[in-house]
Amino acid sequence: MSKRIAVLVSGGGTNLQALIDAAKRGELGNGKITCVISSKADAYALTRAEENGIKTRTLIRKEYADIASYSRAMRDLLLQEEVDLVVYAGFMTILDENVCDAFQYKMINVHPALIPSFCGKGYYGLHVHEEALKKGVKVSGATVHFVTAECDAGPIILQKAVEVAEDDTPETLQKRIMEQAEWKILPKAVQLFCDDRISVENNKTYIK
Ligand code: GAR
């Protein structure tokens, strides 16, 4: 039986699109995207899902008083959808241990930097690239990792480095990292997971 994948989104959804395109090429291994869940009602990612005949759900963050109640609702929704893998694709909300424990090593996130640089609470979206440029790094990139209750700290699955140009703006760097790294390593990590090729030992992953 194929693995049921829920993709969590909050925005434009270009990483979701990369997953949809990989699925069309038969490159998600034994996985199938069965549901897209958005934390925002107006996320363009929802349109991408609908255009591709994928079921959408919304769980609006601001309708919940705190992270604990939002996390419980998300856990219940994911259990109801009977998902085997949860993919954060530009999902901008931190979920607590209620979700992370229920789906231990079954949730993965793409982060637009080489963890442990430019990560953790407050590092999301364009802000990550602003900080990388402020620091003057010559190389940045993207990381796909398992999600744990500690933000951006779970076992690393794949990373890809991307060169920084002297005249980069946060926008140009973001675009290059998406094109050269995120849109490649996220579908690849999903494929590895769905083909049961990733194991975790002592907080490190091993790819079979
Ligand atoms: C992507 O660059 C993703 O790595 C980043 O937000 C962007 C979402 O774009 N995620 C984070 O910063 C999470 N900490 P998308 O909606 O077009 O995929």
Q: Kindly report, residue by residue over 116-170, the tens digit of the pLDDT.
A: 999 999 999 999 999 999 999 999 999 999 999 999 999 999 999 999 999 999 9
With contact defined as beta carbons under 8 Å apart, do 140 and 132 qualify?
A: yes
Cα of 18 from ligand 1 centre, angstroms: 12
* pLDDT attached to residue 183: 98
Helix (H, G, I), strand (E, B) or coil at 187: helix
Which residues, in sequence order, are CB contacts of 150 under 8 Å at separation 6+? none
pLDDT tens digits for range 187-196: 999 999 999 9
Rg for the chain, CA atoms, rounded: 16
Residue 170 in contact with ligand 1 by CB distance below 6 A: no
Which residues, in sequence order, are CB contacts of 134 under 8 Å at separation 6+? none
Q: How many angstroms separate the CA atoms of 17 and 25, rounded?
A: 12
Atom 16, ligand 1: residue with shortest CA distance: 13
Q: Is the pLDDT of residue 30 over 90?
A: yes
Cα of 167 from ligand 1 centre, angstroms: 22
Q: In the CATH scheme, what architecture does the domain 3-207 have?
A: 3-Layer(aba) Sandwich (3.40)
Residue 111 in contact with ligand 1 by CB distance below 6 A: yes
pLDDT tens digits for range 63-104: 999 999 999 999 999 999 999 999 999 999 999 999 999 999
The DSSP-derived string for 67-108 is HHHHHHHHHHHHHHTT-SEEEESS------HHHHHHTTTSEE
Q: How many angstroms separate the CA atoms of 13 and 8, rounded?
A: 9
Q: What is the pTM of this model?
A: 0.97
Q: How many angstroms separate the CA atoms of 78 and 163, rounded?
A: 37
* pLDDT attached to residue 46: 98
Nearest of 103, 120, 121, 113 to residue 139 by alpha carbon: 113
Sheet with 139-146, edge to edge strand ranges: 56-58, 31-38, 3-9, 85-88, 107-111, 139-146, 156-163
Give the helix ranges, DSSP H, for the chain.
14-24, 44-51, 67-80, 97-102, 126-135, 170-177, 183-194
Cα of 138 from ligand 1 centre, angstroms: 21
Atom 1, ligand 1: residue with shortest CA distance: 90
Catalogue the active-site residues.
111
CA 94 to chain CA centroid, Å, is 12
Q: How many angstroms separate the CA atoms of 98 and 73, rounded?
A: 10
Q: Is the pLDDT of residue 1 over 90?
A: no
Residue ranges per structural domain of the chain: 3-207
